[in-house]
Amino acid sequence: MSGAGTLLEVSGISVTFDGFRAISNLSFNIGHAELRAIIGPNGAGKTTFMDIVTGKTKPDEGKVLWGEMSRNLIGMNEAKIARAGIGRKFQRPTVFEDQTVFENLLMAVKNDRNPLKVLFFRPKFKDFAKVEELAAEIGLADQLSRKSGELSHGQKQWLEIGMLLAQDPKLLLVDEPAAGMTLGEREHTTDILKEAAKTRAVVVVEHDMDFVRRLDCKVTVLHEGSVLAEGSLDHVTKNQDVIDVYLGR
Ligand SMILES: Nc1ncnc2c1ncn2[C@@H]1O[C@H](COP(=O)(O)OP(=O)(O)O)[C@@H](O)[C@H]1O
Ligand SMILES: [Mg+2]
């Protein structure tokens, strides 16, 4: 049963790849406007979880229930799930390098969930205002006229987060955002994600424990495709099962 505060309910999900059980009876919930970190050793099933929620991978068993109507996302295609309000950021930024930051954001704003609108799109004042607002949110307000290809790795990641926020998802899934970033960039990324999670749910998969600590949110620890522990970072890092897994015992 999903409670009133539940946006996403993962229930009894299992996936097997060539006989290997990557996700095993996985169940947990994400609330509205919640920031959640998912941690766990390599191969724990973190990316596969995101693949299932976004419709890229179909599980053998289980349900993913979404929104007020507890609609089951399993069997829906990726485009339909994205239109239902789930945005995903991949590890490699996919911004258009030859276009400016402004052009990339404007394109994302016009790429409305209604495909007919894209055909007849003429940018209006409110679209430019939205671009300005997004640029401020990701800390690139003074970079709008720069070619995206000239941005640092971190700035490209923020731009991509901004392009996802332009779609106004109810849930944003972010896989290892801190990889390859400088310390300063990581800190800024934490701020962006925390701010974004005030108005939507944000689920962050991350290896960097300092990054997760700065997120200061509930943590779900995955291991062998199921939940090993859940709670504050301090709580889960005191859990003996978690300690054993991280020390490889
Ligand atoms: N498409 C696939 N085909 C076969 N095995 C896969 C596939 N995707 C993931 N796996 C396996 O499932 C397990 C979980 O992978 P993954 O979700 O990528 O882990 P994590 O993101 O936590 O590191 C790993 O053992 C991985 O090799
Ligand atoms: Mg992964």
Distance, CA 68 to ligand 2 centroid (Å)?
29
Strand partners, 28: 10
Q: Is ligand 1 within 6 A of the CB of residue 67?
A: no
- The parent domain of residue 141 ranges over 6-246
Domain-located, residue 62: yes
Please give the sequence-ordered ranges of beta strands (E in DSSP) within the chain, or none if there are none: 6-17, 20-31, 35-39, 61-66, 71-72, 86-89, 171-175, 201-205, 218-223, 226-231
Closest ligand to residue 222's CA: 1
From 167, 163, 73, select the one nearest 115 (Cα to Cα).
167
Distance 92 CA to ligand 2 centre (A): 12
Is the distance from the beta carbon of residue 31 to the nearest atom of ligand 1 less than 6 Å?
A: no
What is the pLDDT, as a whole number, of residue 181? 94
pLDDT (tens, 9 = 90+) of the chain, 249 residues, equals: 445 689 999 999 999 999 999 999 999 999 999 999 999 999 999 999 999 999 999 999 999 999 989 999 999 999 999 999 999 987 677 799 999 999 999 989 987 655 555 556 677 788 899 999 999 999 999 999 999 999 999 999 999 999 999 999 999 999 999 999 999 999 999 999 999 999 999 999 998 999 999 999 999 999 999 999 999 999 999 999 999 998 776
Indicate if ligand 1 lies below 6 Å from the C-beta of 197: no
pLDDT for 213 equals 96
Write down the number of H helices and E strands in the chain. 10, 10
Cβ-defined contacts of 150-154 (< 8 Å, 24+): 151/95, 151/101, 152/185, 153/93, 153/180, 153/181, 153/185, 154/181, 154/182, 154/184, 154/185, 154/186, 154/188, 154/189
CB 248 within 8 A of CB 242: no
By the CB criterion, residues less than 5 angstroms from ion ligand 2 are 46-47
pLDDT at site 125: 82
The CA distance from 98 to 120, in Å, is 24
In a domain, 1, yes or no: no
The total of structural domains in the chain comes to 1
Q: Which residue CA neighbors atom 18 of ligand 1 most closely? A: 47
**Domain holding 25: CATH number?**
3.40.50.300
pLDDT for the residue numbered 2: 47
pLDDT at 194: 97
* DSSP character at residue 100: B
- Token readout for 152 is 């640092």
CB of 13 closer than 8 Å to CB of 26: yes
Q: How close is the Cα of 57 to the center of ligand 2, in Å?
A: 14
pLDDT score of 112: 61
DSSP state of 154: H
Give the span between the Cα atoms of 94 and 64, in whole angstroms.
27
The neighbour count for residue 127, using CB atoms within 10 Å, is 17
Residue 154 lies in a domain: yes
**Any domain includes 35:** yes
Q: Is the CB of 19 under 6 A from ligand 1?
A: no
